[in-house]
Amino acid sequence: MLGSGLLAGLSLLTAVMASPVEARNTSSNPYRTPCHDDRIRLCSTASPGKAGSCLKKHINELSPACKAQVKKK
């Protein structure tokens, strides 16, 4: 009896811990912008409102989707 409860608890824990990983995938999360990961990687210290200019400075280091987005603006 204890074994089945432990198994159920571990299954639930695994499901809960896996959810944030899925949320990071931009294809499954429509609220993420194409530049989210690039902004964190390259411009995490940029002041609020300055991320756009920071991304432009790093244009050659951006992901293709982010680069296309930055070039539109």
Q: Which residue has the tokens 């991304």?
A: 55
pTM of the predicted protein model: 0.57
**Residue 61 confidence (pLDDT):** 98
Distance CA 14, CA 19 (A): 9
Cα–Cα distance measured from residue 14 to residue 54, given in angstroms and rounded to the nearest whole number:
37
Place of tokens 């995490």: 44
Dihedral, 36, 24, 26, 42 alpha carbons, nearest 10 = 20
Which residues of the chain, if any, have pLDDT below 50? 19-26
